[in-house]
Structure 1
Amino acid sequence: MIPETSISDRYRARADAFEAKVAHVRADQWDNPSPCAKWTARGVVDHVIDMHGVMLGVAIPRTDDPLTDFREARRQIEEALSSDRARSEVSTPLGPMTLEDHIDRVVSDDLVLHGWDLARATGQDETIPPADVARLWATATAVPPELMERFRTPGAFGPGIEVYGEEVAVPDDAPLQDRLLGYVGRDPMSKSS
């Protein structure tokens, strides 16, 4: 076992927040539309679980309970982050990096953005922690334009994978959370479900 890193801590905090949102979805809300046009609230959670499996090269076992399934996906990621495997090199669309860095840049960040999607779809608190907003804004706006075009192209990284949607215009003086959401293809001004 290797010592925990800030990546592990960040993942754990974000997974706690996402899991709490999943736990608060009422049975009658799973089919609510989400800000991700092709997905319902359940589809958002399914996508997050699927991406956890993609990071690890496994299929996460499924039940009829999204909360149980997310907890299993989370368990597997936390197990990988606490092992020597975390420092192993993996191939990614952005080039080689450690597994823990890939988890940090993909599924950990996904927990934040898709947590907002789930909250919007189910009428929960949509506030993203300011530190996460600032970190994701810096990361997203640092992507070179040619790569951002690829990020916005559905399927560019594999079937069913869409990193960002088309940018949604948000006023320059809007809160940074709204500007981040617009930049990655969400409409923060649309009404909650």
Structure 2
Amino acid sequence: MTESIVDLSPADRHRAVSEGFAEQVAAVSEWDAPTPVDGWVARDVVAHLVEWFPGFLAGGGVTLPAGPDVADDPVAAWRAHSAAVQDLLDGPSADDTFTHPMAGEHRLADAVDRFYTADVFMHTWDLAAAAGRPSGLDPTFAGQLLDGMVGMEELLRSSGQYGAAVPVPDDADPVVRLAGFIGRDPAWAPRAGRPVRR
């Protein structure tokens, strides 16, 4: 991503972020490689995104078509899943009201943008780190996400979805600061990780 995605529509932002993630997926050569997420291998990063979001949508009455199993083909699974989400955002239901018992009421496109696209963005860093590759993440959008999360840090930590923040230098770029905030060690490298056997 060479231009900022901050000002894009939810549909276009998802397109850009999911394509960035797809580039990292395509570059994975070892799906059992460790990642910066404790206990996760590369395949688990894809599985997390493909598996949690359909359930979230279903909680608001929206059905996402099932695709290939991540265990069989992570690349095909991601391709099918991201295309299904994009179809949702490009379709007429994007402006519908989406009411979720836990997330509240939002325009469907905004719910996807806030709860899902941001998650794909952050997990792009994990998959890139697992392969020893640059993430290519948009620093402006990373800074925007970080600013929004800092204001609700206590709530985020108590949810159990984020580990303790990892200190980073004050002059670190926004992508590094976001990684540290969500509990990733920006200095993590594949050689420092430990393979997880399944």
Query: TM over 0.5: same fold?
Result: yes
* Structural RMSD (CA): 1.9
Which aligned pairs between 1:151-190 and structure 2 lie closer than 5 A?
151=159, 153=160, 162=161, 164-190=162-188
Looking at structure 2, the residues matched to 90 and 74 of structure 1 have their Cα atoms a distance apart, in angstroms, of 22
TM-score of the aligned structures, taking structure 1 as reference length = 0.82
Letter paired with 1:13 = A
Contact 1:52 1:73 in 2 (8 A): no
Aligned partner of 1:128 among 123, 137, 156: 137
CA gap 1:6/1:122 in 2 versus in 1, 3 angstroms? same
Q: Which runs of 5+ in 2 are unaligned?
A: 1-7, 59-63, 192-198
Cα shift readout 1:93-145 (whole Å, capped 9, x = no counterpart): 34221221111012211121111100001112134212221221122113263
Q: What residue number does 1:60 align with?
A: 66
* Residue 59 of structure 1, CA deviation: 6.6
CA gap 1:171/1:111 in 2 versus in 1, 3 angstroms? same
Which aligned pairs between 1:94-173 and structure 2 lie closer than 5 A?
94-143=103-152, 145=154, 147-151=155-159, 153=160, 162=161, 164-173=162-171
* Residue 84 of structure 1, CA deviation: 2.8
Letter paired with 2:45 = V
Cα shift readout 1:159-179 (whole Å, capped 9, x = no counterpart): xxx2x2221122323222221
Equivalent residue pairs, number? 176
Looking at structure 2, the residues matched to 6 and 110 of structure 1 have their Cα atoms a distance apart, in angstroms, of 17
Q: Which runs of 5+ in 1 are unaligned?
A: 154-161
* Structure 2 counterpart SS, 1:96: strand
Flag the structure with more relative contact order, 1 or 2, with Cα contacts below 8 A and sequence separation at least 6.
2
CA gap 1:127/1:92 in 2 versus in 1, 3 angstroms? farther
Contact 1:116 1:128 in 2 (8 A): yes
* Structure 1 counterpart SS, 2:104: coil
Q: What residue number does 2:46 align with?
A: 45
* Residue 54 of structure 1, CA deviation: 2.7
